[in-house]
A and B are shown apart, each in its own frame.
Chain A
Amino acid sequence: GENVEQHPSTLSVQEGDSAVIKCTYSDSASNYFPWYKQELGKRPQLIIDIRSNVGEKKDQRIAVTLNKTAKHFSLHITETQPEDSAVYFCAANGGNEKLTFGTGTRLTIIP
Chain B
Amino acid sequence: SQTIHQWPATLVQPVGSPLSLECTVEGTSNPNLYWYRQAAGRGLQLLFYSVGIGQISSEVPQNLSASRPQDRQFILSSKKLLLSDSGFYLCAWSRIGGGTDTQYFGPGTRLTVL
Contacts and interface: CB of A to CB of B under 8 A. Distances in A.
Interface of A: 31-32, 34, 36, 42-46, 49, 51, 89, 93-104
Interface in B86-114: 90, 94, 96, 99-108
Nearest to A4: B43
Task: Say whether chain A's binding surface is mostly helix, strand, loop, or mixed.
Answer: loop
Given A97-B51, A97-B94, A98-B59, 12 more contacts: A32-B101, A36-B105, A42-B107, A43-B108, A45-B105, A46-B102, A93-B99, A94-B99, A97-B99, A99-B103, A101-B43, A101-B44
Interface residues of B, number: 22
Contacts of B102: 34, 46, 49
A43 B107 contact: yes
A42 B105 CA distance: 10
Nearest to A34: B102
10 closest Cβ pairs, A-B complex: A32-B100, A43-B105, A101-B44, A103-B43, A93-B99, A97-B99, A96-B99, A104-B43, A44-B105, A46-B102
A43 B106 contact: yes
A101 B38 CA distance: 11
Contacts of B32: 97
A97 B100 CA distance: 8
Contacts of B82: none
Nearest to B59: A98
